[in-house]
C-alpha cells in the first residue's frame, strides 16, 4: 500500500491518467468542501514506492471531481463548488487554460467521452447535465429532467405522486433533482447515463430530438449518488445509493413504467439484476473494473472501499458451473481510511490496482483484486 497526504485539503475524487501509468489527479477541498478553497493535485508514483506531488493548482472554491483529457496528455478538468469547470495544463502554473461557466450550483461530476474524445459532460446540483466541447466556451447541449419528472408523476397518479411508505421520500419531487453523476457510455459516443437525488436513473441519447430514452427509479425513492457503465457488457450498468447498496441493472430488462398494466411495485422501481449489500453507510462511488466484466469497486461513508464480484455475469456463471454464490460477492475490503471515502478509481495499467481518497486528507494506492 502506498500513501500520500493532502494537508489542509479533504479528498473528493481521484483518477488515473490514461496516458501515464504512474500519474494520479486528485480533487480536494478545504473544510470538507463546505467553505474555502480547493486544490488540484497531480501526483507521481515513483519506482521506490513514494508518491510525490508533480504539480498543484489552488482554486477559489472546493473541487469535487476530476477527469483527464482523452485528447491531450497534460490536460485535466476539475469541477468546482462555484458552478464552474476548469481545464488545466499540468505543465503550466497557477491558472487554468480555459473555464466553463453555465451551471448555477455545485458541479459534482465531470466525465470525458472515451469514444468521441472531443466531448465531455458535467452534472450539477442545479439538476442539469451539460455536454461540452473543450474548444468552446458554451455548452453544446443541456439535459434537464425536472419537467420530465413532473409530467411522469402526473401521468401515474391523479394527485401527482405514487403512494409510498412514510419512511421513504417521494421519487417524484421536481424540486429535488440534484444530478449527482453523469457518465458517457464506453460503447456508444452518444449515450449518457445520469442519476439524481430523486432516485431516478436516466439514459440519454444526445442524437435524438427528445434525448431522454429511459427513466426508472433505481433505489426505491432514495437518493442515487453514483453510476457507471460496464466496460464489456454494453447494456449493464451499476448504481449506488444512500440505501447502502450497489445495484446492477441490465437496461434491456427495464420495463416502461408508464404501462398501466404493470403492478405498483414496478412503478416505483424495477428489479435489479443483482444487489450488493455490505456497506454500513451511503455508497458514494461505484466503478466497474477496466480489466474484467464481473469486478466492480465501491467506496462509502463507512470509511471503506469494497471490491465485488458480480456472479450474474455470463463469464462468472460459466466459471462457477452456473451456480450463483449468494453472500460471496464481496472479495476485498480496504479499511485504511479514517474518514469518509469520497473517490476511487481503477488503474488502467496494473490489473487489480486501485486508488482512493477521502476526508482524512489521504490518498492510497492499493491492491484491490
Task: Provide the whole-model pTM.
Answer: 0.87
Spell out the residues 6+ positions from residue 313 whose beta carbon is closer than 8 angstroms to its own: 233, 293, 294
pLDDT in tens, 255-279: 765 544 445 444 567 889 999 999 9
Residue 104 has what pLDDT? 94
> Is pLDDT at 227 greater than 90 in this prediction?
yes
- Residue 327 pLDDT class (50, 70, 90 cuts): low
Using alpha carbons, list the distances in angstroms from residue 348 to 30, 193, 235, 254: 29, 22, 22, 31
Which pLDDT score is estimated for 351?
87
pLDDT digits (tens, 9 = 90+) for 12-39: 999 999 999 999 999 999 999 999 999 9
| Domain range for 31 | 1-93
CA pseudo-torsion sign 358, 300, 17, 47: positive
Please report, for residues 139, 327, 337, 348, the alpha-carbon distance to residue 15 in angstroms, rounded to integers and kept in the order given: 24, 30, 17, 10
Residue 170 scores a pLDDT above 90: no
Say if residue 319's pLDDT is above 90: no
Number of domain units in the chain: 1
Q: What pLDDT, on the 0 to 100 scale, is given for residue 239?
A: 98
- Give CA torsion, residues 353, 228, 322, 328, to 10 deg: 60
Asked, for residue 308, whether it belongs to a domain, the answer is no
Average pLDDT, the chain: 87
Q: What is the pLDDT of residue 94?
A: 83
Q: Looking at the domain assignment, is residue 23 inside a domain?
A: yes
Q: Is residue 11 part of a domain?
A: yes
- 87 Cβ contact list (under 8 Å, min separation 6): 69, 75, 76, 77, 96, 97, 98, 99, 100, 134
DSSP 8-state symbol, 105:
S
Q: Is 6 inside any structural domain?
A: yes
Question: In whole angstroms, what is the distance from residue 201 CA to residue 204 CA?
Answer: 10
pLDDT band at 230 (very low <50, low <70, confident <90, very high): very high
Residue 79 domain-assigned (yes or no): yes
The reply to whether 304 falls in a domain is no
Q: Which tens digit of pLDDT belongs to each residue from 77-88?
A: 999 999 999 999
Mean pLDDT (whole number) for 118-133 = 97
Domain membership flag for residue 135: no
Amino acid at each position: 500500500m502506498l500513501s500520500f497526504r493532502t494537508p489542509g485539503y479533504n479528498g473528493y475524487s481521484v483518477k488515473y491518467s490514461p496516458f501515464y501509468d504512474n500519474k494520479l489527479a486528485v480533487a480536494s477541498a478545504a473544510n470538507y468542501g463546505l467553505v474555502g478553497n480547493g486544490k488540484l493535485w497531480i501526483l507521481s508514483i515513483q519506482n521506490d514506492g513514494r508518491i510525490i506531488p508533480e504539480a498543484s493548482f489552488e482554486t477559489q472554491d472546493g473541487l469535487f471531481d476530476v477527469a483527464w483529457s482523452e485528447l491531450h496528455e497534460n490536460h485535466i478538468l476539475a469541477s468546482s463548488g462555484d458552478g464552474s469547470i476548469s481545464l488545466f495544463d499540468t505543465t503550466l502554473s497557477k491558472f487554468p487554460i480555459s473555464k466553463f461557466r453555465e451551471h448555477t450550483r455545485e458541479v459534482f461530476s465531470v466525465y470525458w467521452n472515451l469514444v468521441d474524445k472531443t466531448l465531455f459532460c458535467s452534472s450539477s446540483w442545479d439538476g442539469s447535465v451539460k455536454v461540452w466541447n473543450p474548444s468552446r466556451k458554451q455548452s453544446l447541449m443541456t439535459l434537464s429532467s425536472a419537467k420530465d419528472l413532473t409530467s411522469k408523476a402526473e401521468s401515474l397518479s391523479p394527485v401527482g405522486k405514487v403512494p409510498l411508505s412514510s419512511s421513504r421520500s417521494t421519487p417524484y419531487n421536481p424540486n429535488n433533482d440534484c444530478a449527482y453523476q453523469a457518465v458517457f457510455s464506453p460503447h456508444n459516443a452518444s449515450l449518457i447515463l445520469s442519476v439524481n437525488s430523486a432516485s431516478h436513473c436516466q439514459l440519454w441519447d444526445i442524437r435524438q430530438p427528445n434525448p431522454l430514452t429511459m427513466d426508472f427509479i433505481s433505489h426505491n425513492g432514495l437518493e442515487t449518488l453514483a453510476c457507471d457503465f460496464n466496460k464489456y457488457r454494453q447494456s449493464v450498468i451499476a448504481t449506488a445509493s444512500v440505501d447502502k447498496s450497489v445495484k446492477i441493472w441490465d437496461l434491456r430488462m427495464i420495463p416502461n413504467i408508464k404501462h398501466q398494466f404493470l403492478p405498483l411495485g414496478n412503478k416505483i422501481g424495477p428489479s435489479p439484476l443483482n444487489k450488493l449489500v455490505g456497506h454500513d453507510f451511503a455508497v458514494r462511488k461505484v466503478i466497474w473494473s477496466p480489466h474484467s466484466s464481473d469486478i466492480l469497486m465501491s467506496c462509502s461513508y463507512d470509511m471503506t472501499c469494497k471490491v465485488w464480484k458480480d456472479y450474474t455475469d455470463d463469464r462468472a456463471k460459466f466459471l462457477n458451473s452456473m451456480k450463483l454464490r449468494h453472500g460471496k460477492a464481496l472479495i476485498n475490503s480496504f479499511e485504511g481510511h479514517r474518514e469518509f471515502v469520497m473517490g476511487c478509481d481503477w488503474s488502467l495499467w496494473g490489473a487489480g490496482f486501485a486508488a482512493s481518497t477521502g476526508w482524512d486528507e489521504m490518498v492510497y494506492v492499493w491492491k484491490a483484486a
